[in-house]
Structure 1
């Protein structure tokens, strides 16, 4: 039996925050802000996922906590991941002009016998 009301599935835009901490004792307070994906006990950082629209407010609040060193935002959602147009074309090998001029030189190799 199908319900008359069909619920539509929508994807939530999420982003990752890497929270560098002094101590891992306060992990329970970080659970309030989002889903903890990974905890590095040796390097003392926490990978935290949360909704995109709440990230700026949460980042400020997390950064103001006394046990937090710094908070880094993930840039993966900002990077374009569509490589379909570039694979196998010359556009894949082209880079933006960074002020360096590269000239291709036509050099001829001469053997010592012919010199």
Structure 2
């Protein structure tokens, strides 16, 4: 059974708090320069985790990822022959 997960981006003051953030989900990435971490959490536990993270004193901001809600069905690049003839412009004077 696959569990739907969603990312959370957590902005914090100092790098020493990264170990504490690891307890809330599966940590994917940590930026030392910009001081943020990205963790994945189950979607059914997202609100609880979000509110518990925002209450921590060293966390400045928590942003959810919108990746699960983005449409990923794309059109094909292959042009149909019928459409190709529709756009056949006659060049000439």
TM over 0.5: yes
TM-score range normalised by the length of the shorter chain: 0.7 to 0.9
Segments of 4+ moved more than 4 angstroms: none
- 1: CA distance between counterparts of 2:12 and 2:40? 16
Partner of 1:56: 47
> What secondary structure is seen at the aligned counterpart in 1 of 2:37?
strand
Aligned length: 79
C-alpha RMSD over aligned residues:
1.5
- Comparing both structures, which one devotes a greater share of its residues to helix? 2
- 2: CA distance between counterparts of 1:48 and 1:15? 8
Give the alignment's TM-score, normalised by structure 2.
Answer: 0.79
More RCO (CA 8 Å, sep 6+): 2
Higher Rg: 1
- Comparing both structures, which one devotes a greater share of its residues to strand? 2
> What secondary structure is seen at the aligned counterpart in 2 of 1:32?
helix
Cα displacement string for residues 62-113 of structure 1 (whole angstroms, at most 9, x for unaligned residues): 0110000100100000011111xx3348xxxxxxxxxxxxxxxxxxxxxxxx
Give the alignment's TM-score, normalised by structure 1.
Answer: 0.64
Cα displacement string for residues 15-43 of structure 1 (whole angstroms, at most 9, x for unaligned residues): 00000111111112111110110000000
